[in-house]
Amino acid sequence: MNIDTSVLSNVNGGGANGLSARQSDELRESFMTLLITQLQNQDPLNPMENSEMTSQLAQINTVSGIEELNSTLEGITSQMDANQALQASGLIGKGVMVSGKDILVEQDDEGNSYTTPFGIELTQPAANVKATIVGEGGQVIKTLDLDGLDEGIQSFQWDGKNDQGESVASGRYSVQLEATDAEGEKIESTALQYAVVNSVTPNDSSGSVRLDLGAIYGQISLNDVKQIL
């Protein structure tokens, strides 16, 4: 008498929802009933080997052990989700860098310009990095030489002035990045933009925390945050 491997698979998450507690109890009761019946009706001249009995007992213990393990893992997962939500709530009101090319400029009544940071994520060190800031119509506003940069994430601040040294108008601009190695070969890079976390949605249908960055940028996952400023 052996437990079908499909039963073990279901208990271990192979089925849609695994076995319920009631189904698991019924399985154990049925197993013990069959085992006792088998012992009572075995051939006295050919009794069940100890190894065979041990094997069958191990199978039912495996079922029970997996059920308890799954219950423990569910508890750990719930705790991790709660910790992630708590961590994310600490970002409310803070600025973060996420994938994107936007730079927002706000000019006050005295002509002072305030700009949001921009950033870059490099997969390897770059010998030269050039940042070109363009307007909504695609016209070049400012070219910045960022020189050599290390691998990883770095952020920068534009002063809000064009190549002629004049303050630009309030609005949305974008940055185009070009990174090259010492031989002049282009290397992979990702542009980063600034956003403020307005609120946190603890869990969505996939179990991940969502950060609300407002009407312009929408919602992102916690894993999308590249840097916290």
Write the pLDDT tens digit of every residue in 83-95: 667 777 888 999 9
CATH class of 95-228: mainly beta
pLDDT for the residue numbered 3: 43
Cα–Cα dist 213/98, whole Å: 10
* Average pLDDT, rounded, for the chain: 79
Residue 52 pLDDT: 61
Residue 206 has pLDDT above 80, yes or no: no
- Whether the pLDDT of residue 14 is over 50: the answer is no
Which residue has better confidence, 16 or 228?
Answer: 228
The dihedral through the CA atoms of 87, 101, 110, 144 has a sign that is: positive
Residues of the chain with CATH 2.60.40.4070: 95-228
> Distance between CA 217 and CA 95 in Å, rounded?
13
Query: Of the ranges 38-47, 110-119, 170-179, 215-224, which one carries the lowest mean pLDDT score?
Result: 38-47
Residues of the chain with pLDDT > 70, as a percent, come to 62
Query: Which residue has better confidence, 217 or 39?
Result: 217
Which of 16-25, 32-41, 160-169 has the weakest average pLDDT?
Answer: 16-25
Residue 54: its pLDDT value, please? 58
State residue 121's pLDDT score: 97
d(CA 104, CA 90): 24
Measured over the CA atoms of residue 14, residue 16, residue 17 and residue 20, the dihedral's sign is negative
Write phi, then psi, for 147 (nearest 5 degrees).
60, -155
**How many residues are there in the chain?**
229
Reply yes or no on whether the pLDDT at 42 is more than 90. no
Residue 138 has pLDDT above 80, yes or no: yes
Structure tokens of 150? Answer: 């290390």
Q: Is the pLDDT assigned to residue 1 strictly greater than 50?
A: no
Whether pTM exceeds 0.75: no
Which H or E element spans position 91? none
Residue 59 and residue 190: Cα distance in Å, rounded?
52
62 residue type, one letter: T
